[in-house]
Every structure is written in structure tokens, then in C-alpha cells.
Amino acid sequence: MSPLAAQGLRRLLAGVQAVANACWGGSCGAVRRPALWRGVSAPGSKLTPARSCWSLGWSCRLGGQGAAATGHPASSHTAVTSLGQMLTGQAVALLSLTWGAYQSLAVPRVSECGLSCSQGFTCKSRVNRNIFNSFCQQPPTSMSRSVLEALALSTAMKCSPPDGCALLLRVQASLTPHESLRGLEACSVSLDTQETQCQSVRIRRASRWPQGGQQLQVHFDCFEVGVAQSLYVTLRTVPHFCGIQLDQQYRVEDCSDEDVGRAVPDCFAGKLSYWVARSHKVVLVQVPEAPGGRDYYVRLCLKRFTCEEAGAPVRVTADGVSRRVSLPYSQELPCLCLEAWPATPDAVRIQACPFKDDTETLWDAVYYQPGSQALSWEPPCPVSGHVSLCWRPGPGAPCLELEHSGRPAHRRVRYSLVDAQPQLCLKFSTSLGVRLRCPFQQLRFPAWKMTVQPAPAPGRLRVAFFSPSPARFQVCLCQQGGTWPSACRQALQATAIPAASGDPTEEPVAAFVDIPEDEACAPGTCIQVRRTDAHFSAPQQLCDLPCAATQGTAA
């Protein structure tokens, strides 16, 4: 919310609170017309003086001839008087809780935490929980199930210079008094640590129970909470009547809140400065001095499900000569983060990721094992998307995905029996875009090749395959075209040659196949070969055979 809008909301709710306070004491008719009725509304909102009461759920008389619409002072006073007479029952509770919601826009300061009740009641606080109140009893027939009217939660600060501020949870409850009620109990459970805090209040009548359905307001202000803590708050009656309970989840402001980040010591680590020296592969961290003279820990970690340690934490002492530390790293990864926190139990940890934009390194963790012909990739950082094998028919051509090679990209991917060919690539399709890595393009992996030469039999060509290890091949004659896959026909299985029959001084011939020369040399005809003993293999294609010389080679 902008400062201007917040200011307008403060003035709007100031008028609401004035009416509520006056009606609480039974003097609605004496309420002066606050700024709300003088044409003040929240900037940027749709509230207008004539429609403000509709927006809050009140009943108003509006119209072109109505005084409330014209804003005439005397008529406005009459409208406010009528409005004030209607602010009873649940409307008062709603106004009070709305005021509490407004106060949470800027975290208020309190000098002392405590307990308060509305006029006409006296309250006595008890911090320790009564375990017997966990068991419920049936409510009396005269008690309404909605005796607990409302529950509102907000955050406050208790500051002790120069040590900074601590955060408190404010619990505001509204209930309808009943002669069987002796008090209330509010409990806060941390969803992170399961730590439970309970406060109970005993309510005594100053004279007698108020008549006319007046609500009792109770404010608890002494629940100590931490930055960004997730809470589950329960409100019960004392004694605990079955089925009469209010529950609400609440999250305490984090260090991104301006007030909290400036005043709470646990957030001071978020103000640290750092520089990256890429040439030396270190992150230099400057830890600021914090009120209270606290020590801090800083470290590098890999942010996955949790931030896994990537280096030993370094403690920066409050009385140290230097508050600068140097953290070495081995690889620039988008999930390699700097983490800092005060040297206190359960402290809030602040993180910054210096290499969050260095995403290209995610696709470099590709490994190939020539012995098992296994190709694998393991993401060093969390990635969501799809990975597959693909092959490029030629320079600049799109990478065509191989069948049955799609895998989720969020965990380790392993392909067995992969044919190491320069045209074979890994294709990553994630939220970061599409990336290709072709591991066999630059490095010289043991790969097979083929040659075309005259066969011993007249009128035929022999396609011979050379491979450092036994392999099986399939040969097709295809019609050359501008798109893939080409129209192929006449699949022929190559005849394997035993390894012992080859000359050990030369590259061994693994297999061969003879094809009719007139078919192979027809215009626009190509020889397409695929390795059949590998699970993943890209087709190789040889076109424009030099049939006049009857010799050609493809790798």
C-alpha cells in the first residue's frame, strides 16, 4: 500500500473508531461528525462519503435528496446519530477488529505487553496453561454457539534500545458475555517448531453482566514470536465448552517488511554486503554491526529443498577487528547462495544468491561412460521441465527428438546403450527455455563409420561398417528430400563379421551389406544407416553417391 493510501485509510478508520468508541459508552447521538463524513476516503479506493457505510456493511439511507448524500452538516449529524444507534451487537466487534487490522499495516510499538478488557469488566491474566481446559464439556442450553464472536491477530513490537525490537503477537477476541463463562484461553502453536504458548484470562464482573447483548473485548499482547513465523492460534472459553472455539492461522511479518527489517536484530543479517571475485572464485562478505553486539554466522549453501552446506560456516564476532570474510566456491550455480544468521537459537536465516542468473551451468553436468555406453545428466540445482535425446540431420537443422527418450528434468537422468555420434544431443525444455548440449560434437569418442565401394559381385555396392566394438546395423534406401524423416524403403540387415576375422593392424570391419548399384545410384537416393544394438541411436545418411567412381564414405 502506498503512503498516500495508508494515510487515507488511517483517516477513514479514525472516523470509524470514533463512532465505535462513542457508541460503546452509549452516546451515539453526541458523536461529532468526523473527517470521514467531510468527504475523506482512502486514496485509490472506491469509497465515497455517501457510500462508505455500504462498504462496511452498514445500513444507510442514500439518495439524490438525502442529506447524507449531500453532506449537509446538520443532516450529516442526524445520519451519524442514526448510524450510531445501529452500531450494536456484532457491528461493534466488526469495527474493533477492523481497527486492529488497520493497525497491522504499520507494526505498532508497545512499551509493555499486557492484557486489557472492555469497560465494565476486570481481567486477570494467567500465563500457564490449564491442561484440564483441553477437555470440553457440553455448553448450557442458554449459551449460543456463536458466543465467541470474532478473533483478530496482528503483530506489535516491544523495543529496548540499543538491543533492537522483539515481536509480539496481539490476539484480540470479541465474545458475548454469559453467566457460565469464567474466562478465555488463547494458545499459539508454531507450525515450524511445535512450540506452544498459552495465556488465559479470568473475567470478573465489575457490577453485573451488561444487558442488551454488549460484546466483551479482550486483548492479549504477550505472545513472543519470531520473524516470518507461521502460527496456529486457538481461542477457547474457560471452561472449554464443546464446539465453541475459534481457530486461525497467521504468519508474522518477515524481514521484507520495512518496520521489521529496520528494527528487529534477526533481520540485520539481511543488510550484509557482498562482492563476487570470479577470477579468484570467492565471495567477499561484509557483515554490518548490529545493536546488542551479536555474533553472526555466514556460509555458502546449495539451495535445494533445504539449503545444503557447501562450505563450513564462518563466525563473525561482534568484537572482531574485521567483519569481512572470504568464502571460496568451486562452481557458479544459480542455487549457490549466501546465508547469514545471528548466533542465537532458532535465528532467522537470510539468503542471497549471487549467481541466480548463471543458468547455463545447469546443462553442463553431462557424463558419458564409453564402457557401458551410458549417458547421464544430473541437475546441480532444482529444475522443473523435460529432457530428451535428439539428433540433428545437418548443420542448422532443428534437433529431432528420439522416440521414448523423454524424461522429467527434476532428478538424475540416465540413458543406457547410447550411440556416441556427433549429431546426438540432449535437449532441455524447462521454464528457463530450451537448451541443447551435444556431448559428442567436440570430443573424439570411439564411434563407428561406414564406407561405400564396389562389392565382389558385379552390379552391386558394398556398404562396410567399421567399429571398435561389435555392432549391428540396418540399411535403408531413402528418397532425398527437404524434410525429415525421409521416405525410406527396403530395410536391409547388415551381416556381422566376427572380430577374429579382421586384421588386428587395421580398424576392424564390424559388418557389411551389398545393395544393387542401379537402385543406390538412382537420382535423389540416399543410404540411411541406423545402429540396431543401441537403445538410442541417430540415423546416419549418405547421399549423392559417386557412383561413377563407386566410392564414398560417411562417418
pLDDT in tens, 147-180: 898 999 999 999 887 667 889 999 999 988 888 8
- Report pLDDT for 446: 61
Residue 494 DSSP class: P
Q: Does position 18 have pLDDT exceeding 50, yes or no?
A: no
Q: Does position 326 have pLDDT exceeding 50, yes or no?
A: yes
Cα–Cα distance for residue pair 120/203, rounded to 1 Å: 10
- Report pLDDT for 248: 95
Cα–Cα distance for residue pair 222/48, rounded to 1 Å: 38
Largest CA distance in the chain: 123
With the C-alpha atoms ordered 133, 135, 138, 144, is the resulting torsion angle positive or negative?
A: positive
- Report pLDDT for 46: 34
- Mean pLDDT, residues 5-34: 41
pTM: 0.53
The model's confidence at residue 133, banded by pLDDT at 50, 70 and 90, is low
Q: Does position 82 have pLDDT exceeding 50, yes or no?
A: no
Q: Does position 336 have pLDDT exceeding 90, yes or no?
A: yes
Residue 19, H or E segment: helix 3-24
Q: How many residues does the chain have?
A: 555
- Mean pLDDT, residues 405-415: 91
Q: Does position 448 have pLDDT exceeding 70, yes or no?
A: yes
The answer to whether the peptide bond before residue 162 is cis (omega within 30 degrees of 0) is: yes
Which residues 6+ apart lie within 8 Å of 403 measured at CB? Answer: none
Residue 483 DSSP class: S
Stronger pLDDT, 236 or 270, i.e. the higher one: 236
Cα–Cα distance for residue pair 187/86, rounded to 1 Å: 33
Cα–Cα distance for residue pair 136/134, rounded to 1 Å: 6
Cα–Cα distance for residue pair 458/1, rounded to 1 Å: 88
The model's confidence at residue 79, banded by pLDDT at 50, 70 and 90, is very low
Determine the distance from the C-alpha atom of residue 552 to the mean position of all C-alpha atoms in its chain, rounded to a whole number: 57
- Report pLDDT for 14: 42
The model's confidence at residue 91, banded by pLDDT at 50, 70 and 90, is very low
Q: Does position 503 have pLDDT exceeding 60, yes or no?
A: no
Q: Does position 293 have pLDDT exceeding 50, yes or no?
A: yes
- Report pLDDT for 132: 58
Cell matching residue 449: 563409420
| 421 phi, psi to nearest 5 deg | -125, 145
Cell matching residue 99: 481497527
Cα–Cα distance for residue pair 135/129, rounded to 1 Å: 13
Cell matching residue 197: 504458548
Cα–Cα distance for residue pair 338/284, rounded to 1 Å: 10
Cα–Cα distance for residue pair 235/184, rounded to 1 Å: 7
Residue 444 DSSP class: -
- Report pLDDT for 126: 67
Asked if 273 contacts 289 with a C-beta cutoff of 8 angstroms, the reply is: no
The cell 503477537 sits on which residue?
169
Alpha helices in 25-117 (DSSP H): 52-55, 67-70, 73-86, 90-103
Cα–Cα distance for residue pair 388/240, rounded to 1 Å: 60
Average pLDDT, the chain: 74
Residue 233, H or E segment: strand 230-238
- Report pLDDT for 48: 32
- Mean pLDDT, residues 469-485: 76
Any idea which of 20-29, 152-161, 216-225 has the lowest mean pLDDT?
20-29
Strand order in the sheet with 540-543: 487-493, 473-479, 525-531, 540-543
Residue 472 DSSP class: -
Residues paired with residue 167 on neighbouring β-strands, in sequence order: 157, 225
Stronger pLDDT, 26 or 194, i.e. the higher one: 194
Any idea which of 29-33, 86-90, 476-480 has the lowest mean pLDDT?
29-33
- Report pLDDT for 320: 67
Q: Does position 437 have pLDDT exceeding 60, yes or no?
A: yes
3-state secondary structure of 14: helix
What's at 33, amino acid-wise?
A: R
Asked if 491 contacts 548 with a C-beta cutoff of 8 angstroms, the reply is: no
